[in-house]
Structure 1
Amino acid sequence: MRADLSPASGRAAADHDRGMRLLRGVLAGVAAGEEPLTHVTELPERPAAVVDWPDWTPEPVRAAFAARGVRLPWSHQVEAAEHAHAGRSTVIATGTASGKSLAYQLPVLSALTADRRATALYLSPTKALGADQLRALRELDLPDLRPAAYDGDTPLAERDWVRAHSRWVFTNPDMLHRGVLPAHDRWSMFFRRLRYVVVDECHSYRGVFGSHVALLLRRLRRVCRRYGSDPVFVLASATVSDPAGSATRLSGVDCAAVDQDGSPRGARTVALWEPPLLDDVTGDNGAPVRRSAGAESARVLADLVIGGARTLAFTRSRVGAELTSLGAKRILAEVDADLPDQIAAYRAGYLPEERRELEAALGDGRLLGVASTNALELGVDIAGLDAVIVAGYPGTLASFWQQAGRAGRAGDGSLVVFIARDDPLDTYLVHHPSAILDKPVETTVTDPGNPYVLAPQLVCAAAELPLTPACLPDFGGDTARAVLDDLVAEGSLRKRPGGWYWTQRDRPHGAVDIRGSGGEQIALVEADSGRMLGTVNQGNACSTVHPGAVYLHQGSSYVVDDLDLDAGLAMVHTETPDWTTSPREEVDISILDTESRTVFPAQGGGAVEVCLGNVAVTSQVVGYLRKLPSGQVLDQIPLDLPEHTLHTRAVWYTITEDLLTGQGLDRANLKRSRIPGALHAAEHAAIGLLPLFATCDRWDIGGVSTALHPETTHPTVFVHDGHPGGAGFADRAHTALTAWLTATRKAIAACECPEGCPSCVQSPKCGNGNNPLDKQGAIAVLTTVLNTLRR
């Protein structure tokens, strides 16, 4: 059932389930005159589909599950286990809390029990998830498994024991890349006996990271073949579109999909929420400003805790988690001095024992509310939650439903509140509920053929075992051969009659960052103490840690004193100034090659041209603004920093000037002076809405608009991937161009602001300080483009 619910009607609605009761309690705290609720959906409960254990299940395994309260499995668990037991690689793509762990534990534990020499490998995207799954496996208390973690937290003294004795190793792609495959000869017995490889939360492997992991898994399979094994892959994922195709691209082996969920689910109320506008507060160019999603989340979290509801609030950043927790504590302190102790923050950067204690405290009710980054999104077993707050769209529908699925894990009724940030995509979603509630989740985007990913991966593969022509089909065939020729030409590899060889003494793995572009990292160091705070990618250093930049790390504020790109160092000192900093950037874009060009003639002359291809984006940070929290600019400070060039993928459209300046049917009727602002606003809004059509975040992409591009010779808008070689996002945008630009135009036109605001055309990452921007001009441009495309 679906129902639109205003605050007033929400308070009067029938008190028919727990989710709605919780929502009514939250709405009771809304100030008079505010109407933040834009839509409510009720998702019905789903009964369980229980089946018998497979007849091949060893009795000790069956008894171990029964001792943990699992009397009989659900249908999808057995379906996936049957595939794996029969030697077929499979992906189980069912919802959060659907018991995917048992689906892969059952065949793996059966194999390890039946064959005391067999081994298994488990991969997770985060150490926290791996630790949680390892703890659950140990609680089954089966003999002679010797499961163990092998990751960055494993003491050096224990690593030799894990290699020699563990039969089920829990690690992550980073450690597999840097610590296991480079030393595969020391793991020879483990690989020789390897029966299963489990890849958990595989939907999180997307973009450049996913492309690296796809090639990493091909390297793993090659090493396994070297020792005579051919393991079955079992992948687990939140519900994704085309799970079989996604899993096959990631693993390199054909995967059967299991996507019919047989687990029970309680009724769930999903509320879409837009924070109100702030009185007497304006932002850039006088734009209206909404209450932040973080502040609104703190209030909703406090209301739910007061009502006794176990609640998890997801935020977009570590700082956001800390601030949401602090805000809720302040509100609760005014109600009851004991209540603030029942709120905590959870994020990466805490010690493992601190995270485990927080997880246990939330699970057993000692904590009622936790504000978290997505560190609690991926599989950590938190049961019995009454409510989830999603503060800001997490970038993909898969992540949204993964976070929402944390509510009602015990089968009870629950509440999910999605609170929009002041952002074009979030604003669009809360006013177009079908885009989030009725749309199928995305297919993960990976491109193992990206030469910027493939080249370093081939170097690592050659350093592990010489590459031969027989290896190349797994790595892309002709594409891999062309990249190898380039690597030989530059001296990275040597070609011999038998194949391609790594000839250096040092292994190349340490220089390849599989979570980024493979480039060098800039270390942030506290000048007074010499303590290393963290790292940033060199490509982002000039815009994030330039001299004078305010940098937030684990809730603390620092100011950058010096940036030395050659030494890879940014020196900082502790300071909490009254202002924030925003870089000012000059960007040029040149077209390297055009793969696709389509011309759409307009009625009465002129045309729109849509293209896809490779581009070079040259950017230079030329200064920064210091701004007060109100948005007032204090000053602009110049900088002398080098240019940075990014070779990547882009989609772009051109529109002849007569279509923009002309009057009449399908003409924008703009003065020439308005064209730059109109194109700039259209570009910003398009970037903001692209995550709805491609599996990306707005920080994964960039854009350039110009009233006259020297190569196209027309007004042009580019949207490009933010990663070397591209990550598949521009290609997705090209495929969905009409739907994407339609949603963009609709989002701008629906915004109530008069001249443009963060909810429609302003961007938090604009290198030109959101100037110039012409909201009405953007609507005119997009209307003209869409009318021409549709004709």
Structure 2
Amino acid sequence: MSDRVPDFLSHVLAHATPGQVAAVVEMPARASAGAPWPEWVAPEVKDALANRGIRELWSHQAEAAELLHGGTHTVVATGTGSGKSLAAWIPALDLLSRRGRGRSGLANIRYRPSVLYLAPTKALAADQLVGLARLAREVDPRIGVAAADGDAEASVKRWAREYADVVLSNPDFLQHAMLASHERWARLWRGLAMVVMDEFHSYRGVFGANVAATVRRLLRLAGHYGACPAVAFLSATSGDPAETARRFLGDSFGPVQAVERDGSPRGPKRLVLWRCREVEGEQRAKREGVPRAEGTGLKPRSDAGTGRHAGVQNRTGTEGNPKTGHDAGTDLPGGPRRAANTEAGELTGVLAAAGAQTLTFVRSRAGAERVAEIARDWSAAHASGFDPEIAAYRGGYLPEDRRALEGSLRSGQLRALATTNALELGIDVSGLDAVVVTGWPGTHASFAQQIGRAGRAGKPGVAVFIGRDDPLDQYLLSHPEAFTQSPAETNVFDPANPHVLLPHVCAAAAELPLTEADAEVFGLDSTALFDDLASDGLLRRRPNGWFWNASLGANAHDMVSLRGEGGTVSIVDGESGVLLGTVDSARADATVFPGAVYLHQGVPYMVESLDEDSAVVHRHRDEEIRTYAAQSTSVRIVDVEELAHADFGVWARGEVLVTSQVTGYDVRRSEDGLYLGRVPLDMPVRELRTSGTWWTLDAKALERAGVPASDLPGALHAAEHTSIGILPLLATCDRWDLGGLSTVWHADTQATTVIVHDAVPGGSGCSLHGFEHGRIWMEATLAALESCPCTGGCPRCVQSPKCGNNNEPLSKGGATKLLRIVADGLRRAQA
């Protein structure tokens, strides 16, 4: 390694207290594997790339370019910074530069060729535009490149429709503008030679299923216009990329080839596995012994008893136990530990002050704001007159604010940026010195993308993984080999989800009448669904196909919600009228409820009111307070789709109906998470019909487990929490994509039951993945419990940050006994 990286690493290690560094994982360098230029590449393309220092290709680029040039759907699954996009742009630019000359393979089209590039975020498409437009001009000044999305000016979108050879966009604009008004884009469709799907690994869950259906509709439409484009899937390393891409396209559009052997160089990297610091004596005293103002739950102050949160209800009895909620963990050796965001903020400040350009990934929007705030405060206190530029970046910012932050990071003006995963796929930033990852991001692919930002293009780098109080994070801290030896997950999405499929079939019928051949496009065995939709009045059956029923006066494309959010809620400053940002409607009840503290660039606002369209906020005078929604939930089993008997009970999956309601919110001190009280709310009841996996325990199994009846509710509750926390190790999701219920007696199963369900309508495929890999799932859940050093249960094993019951009751010992029975039973059943 260069002298530079060990210096940054030494700053990180010097900041640690004894026991904080769980391990330092060495990720060795990888030598490059080059390949000669394919003979068909035009001299203009080679010359333009040579001007950028690219005189030969890496092996995976040459292999993928050959496949795409021949018209084969190709998925390139290699690491961050491996030049995947160049594998697609070489055959595309070669084709566009030859206009009208002899063609073969990919170029065998009748009209002026065109290329459509799709990115999961507007930021990534905008970033690609800068470099690609410059390269295309150098290859051939006649090649037009344009970005068309919801933020683009009308004149830019018009130019893209009428003149651009390469259009860069996103699935949302494709669905709601390009396909909905496909006649206006006819020039693009007629010559469409390639569709580039960037960051393919990000298409998972309901979003992945929706985009799969949208791309199938795109290919169906292109065929109508006489084109047969090759699809280039550009993905981070993932499990079985060829099968994932095939499932994405279905069986109507031809086979898919995978390119997985990465020929690019990789610099050495050191990954620090970081435990949160133990709370020191005086901090613990402050958490447990600070006197509170009477009836408020706040520290004594001159204005105590006034303001929105003055009437919070302090908890009593078991609910006031300091081992619950965010204050859990006092039974661990050395006592409780600090919040992961506090650690991330300080480490960001440490690295920024040391001169390292740093990107810090945080799990939530509010967390990104808080981490940036802590990093700024730490730098101001410790940087000896040096004040590095530190900011936050997250979804919900206005487009112009995002662009400004992206430009500052790219130029080096920003020394550190705390971001949600909105920037994981956002822009191509090379030369970053360090990356801090706050909590497991959900998949190995996402984790590789994030730490891959450090030391790119063969340079050495340093990364830090901070384990949260979460079963999966703690499991990973105890198993460092999982970062280098565990196989990448297979993307989980369900194209057959009826909540996804039906709107897309209607949208397709509005684009072009459906025929019998279109059943295969949507993975259907017959046209029965088309007939059902006609019976419901959504379609009309005619001798030449099924048509959208235009007499309804509705737009079929408005039925489709790609990201499953069903709209957005605007967050408005009530004093100035300024739009601060947006939040998905599905998340509004739990994030911008009346009384919630909402952070925007480190400034706290309080939500005054919430309706279907907007949340009105104002500046909050008390910067020490944070709020967390509390919810009540019930789950009913609607349909059993698959069931297997085992010696402990049953292992099953099917359709479930989840009923939930935000009933109030907890008030906590931002500095250390100290619980201050609960405020009741009367929010609407929400229903969610989705997919779930459950297991039951019969009387004999409970007897073998030896869990006393008094401990059984807590044992089931703890088993539910830990299994939800561990499932993301197997499926491409995180615990916030899941929900659950545990009960000693469930009316639908007539038995002791634990249910884990998807948190989106119709299901995301995650609980199904858990059902199909039950033995592995339960064994990993059991290992997480057995490896946690606590005695009575803590946030690192059984407690959940999203529990609507304030993590009461919980029994770690009982959960361990129950899960041992379930894991052993599944092992025997599959022997």
Correspondence list, 1:494-513, <5 A: 494-504=540-550, 505-513=553-561
- 1: CA distance between counterparts of 2:352 and 2:627? 35
- 2: CA distance between counterparts of 1:638 and 1:380? 42
- 2: CA distance between counterparts of 1:46 and 1:570? 50
8 Å contact from structure 1 (residues 284, 631) kept in 2: no
- 2: CA distance between counterparts of 1:576 and 1:494? 59
State the 1:363 CA deviation. Answer: 4.7
**Structure 1 residue corresponding to 2:10, chosen from 6, 10, 24:** 24
State the 1:657 CA deviation. Answer: 3.4
Report the equivalent of 1:182: 180
8 Å contact from structure 1 (residues 270, 416) kept in 2: yes
Structure-2 change in CA distance of 1:357 and 1:543 (3 Å)? closer
- 1: CA distance between counterparts of 2:771 and 2:575? 50
- 2: CA distance between counterparts of 1:652 and 1:144? 59
- 2: CA distance between counterparts of 1:657 and 1:636? 38
Report the equivalent of 2:293: none
The answer to whether structure 1 residue 692 and structure 2 residue 733 are counterparts is no
The answer to whether structure 1 residue 370 and structure 2 residue 417 are counterparts is yes
**Structure 1 residue corresponding to 2:452, chosen from 397, 405, 408:** 405
**Structure 2 residue corresponding to 1:41, chosen from 25, 34, 40:** 25
Q: Secondary structure at the match of 2:279?
A: strand
Identity of aligned residues (%): 47
Report the equivalent of 2:151: 153
State the 1:551 CA deviation. Answer: 3.6
Report the equivalent of 1:657: 699
State the 1:484 CA deviation. Answer: 3.1
The answer to whether structure 1 residue 121 and structure 2 residue 116 are counterparts is yes
| Letter in structure 2 aligned against 1:497 | P
- 1: CA distance between counterparts of 2:400 and 2:663? 44
Q: Secondary structure at the match of 1:501?
A: strand
Report the equivalent of 1:218: 216
State the 1:352 CA deviation. Answer: 5.6
Structure-2 change in CA distance of 1:729 and 1:43 (3 Å)? same
State the 1:284 CA deviation. Answer: 4.6
8 Å contact from structure 1 (residues 84, 232) kept in 2: yes
8 Å contact from structure 1 (residues 330, 340) kept in 2: no
The answer to whether structure 1 residue 683 and structure 2 residue 730 are counterparts is no
Structure-2 change in CA distance of 1:38 and 1:644 (3 Å)? same
8 Å contact from structure 1 (residues 287, 755) kept in 2: no
Report the equivalent of 2:511: 464
State the 1:204 CA deviation. Answer: 0.5
Report the equivalent of 2:314: none
Structure-2 change in CA distance of 1:525 and 1:364 (3 Å)? closer
**Structure 2 residue corresponding to 1:575, chosen from 602, 617, 620:** 620
State the 1:437 CA deviation. Answer: 2.3
Report the equivalent of 2:103: none
- 2: CA distance between counterparts of 1:333 and 1:635? 32
8 Å contact from structure 1 (residues 319, 554) kept in 2: no
State the 1:529 CA deviation. Answer: 4.9
- 1: CA distance between counterparts of 2:133 and 2:685? 52
State the 1:585 CA deviation. Answer: 2.9
8 Å contact from structure 1 (residues 17, 413) kept in 2: no
Correspondence list, 1:579-728, <5 A: 579-601=625-647, 607-629=648-670, 631=673, 633-660=675-702, 662=703, 667-728=704-765
Q: What is the aligned length?
A: 761
8 Å contact from structure 2 (residues 396, 582) kept in 1: no
TM-score scaled by length of structure 2: 0.87
Report the equivalent of 1:132: 127
Report the equivalent of 1:765: 802
The answer to whether structure 1 residue 436 and structure 2 residue 483 are counterparts is yes
| Letter in structure 1 aligned against 2:273 | L
- 2: CA distance between counterparts of 1:788 and 1:97? 44
Q: Secondary structure at the match of 2:746?
A: coil
Q: Secondary structure at the match of 2:35?
A: coil
State the 1:72 CA deviation. Answer: 1.3
Report the equivalent of 2:470: 423
Structure-2 change in CA distance of 1:692 and 1:776 (3 Å)? same
The answer to whether structure 1 residue 55 and structure 2 residue 39 are counterparts is yes
**Structure 2 residue corresponding to 1:490, chosen from 523, 526, 536:** 536
Structure-2 change in CA distance of 1:555 and 1:248 (3 Å)? farther
8 Å contact from structure 2 (residues 694, 756) kept in 1: yes
- 2: CA distance between counterparts of 1:586 and 1:349? 27
- 2: CA distance between counterparts of 1:613 and 1:394? 27
- 2: CA distance between counterparts of 1:341 and 1:308? 8
Structure-2 change in CA distance of 1:341 and 1:446 (3 Å)? same
Greater mean alpha carbon deviation, residues 506-515 or residues 144-153? 506-515
> Per-residue displacement from partner, 1:297-343 (whole Å, max 9, x unpaired)?
22223333343333222222333333323322322233445532343
Report the equivalent of 1:751: 788
Structure-2 change in CA distance of 1:524 and 1:119 (3 Å)? same
Q: Secondary structure at the match of 1:104?
A: helix
| Letter in structure 2 aligned against 1:620 | Q
Report the equivalent of 2:243: 245
Stretches of structure 2 that go unaligned for 5 or more consecutive residues are 101-111, 289-321, 330-335
State the 1:687 CA deviation. Answer: 0.6
Structure-2 change in CA distance of 1:576 and 1:397 (3 Å)? farther
Q: Secondary structure at the match of 1:478?
A: coil
State the 1:631 CA deviation. Answer: 5.0
The answer to whether structure 1 residue 307 and structure 2 residue 354 are counterparts is yes
| Letter in structure 2 aligned against 1:29 | H
State the 1:755 CA deviation. Answer: 2.4
State the 1:535 CA deviation. Answer: 4.6
Q: Secondary structure at the match of 1:341?
A: coil
State the 1:627 CA deviation. Answer: 3.8
TM-score scaled by length of structure 1: 0.91
Structure-2 change in CA distance of 1:22 and 1:520 (3 Å)? closer
State the 1:188 CA deviation. Answer: 0.9
8 Å contact from structure 2 (residues 513, 546) kept in 1: yes
The answer to whether structure 1 residue 93 and structure 2 residue 141 are counterparts is no
Report the equivalent of 1:84: 68
Q: Secondary structure at the match of 2:705?
A: coil
State the 1:26 CA deviation. Answer: 1.7
Structure-2 change in CA distance of 1:409 and 1:540 (3 Å)? closer
Q: Secondary structure at the match of 1:740?
A: helix
Structure-2 change in CA distance of 1:762 and 1:195 (3 Å)? same
Structure-2 change in CA distance of 1:74 and 1:653 (3 Å)? same
Report the equivalent of 1:291: 338
The answer to whether structure 1 residue 67 and structure 2 residue 67 are counterparts is no
| Letter in structure 2 aligned against 1:174 | D
State the 1:271 CA deviation. Answer: 1.7
Q: Secondary structure at the match of 2:472?
A: helix
Report the equivalent of 1:780: 817
| Letter in structure 2 aligned against 1:23 | L
8 Å contact from structure 1 (residues 539, 644) kept in 2: no
Structure-2 change in CA distance of 1:485 and 1:339 (3 Å)? farther
Report the equivalent of 1:232: 230
Greater mean alpha carbon deviation, residues 636-645 or residues 288-297? 636-645
State the 1:399 CA deviation. Answer: 0.2
Q: Secondary structure at the match of 2:508?
A: helix
8 Å contact from structure 2 (residues 372, 602) kept in 1: no
| Letter in structure 2 aligned against 1:72 | E
Structure-2 change in CA distance of 1:39 and 1:678 (3 Å)? same
- 2: CA distance between counterparts of 1:54 and 1:172? 30
State the 1:353 CA deviation. Answer: 6.2
**Structure 1 residue corresponding to 2:494, chosen from 427, 444, 447:** 447
Q: Secondary structure at the match of 1:136?
A: helix
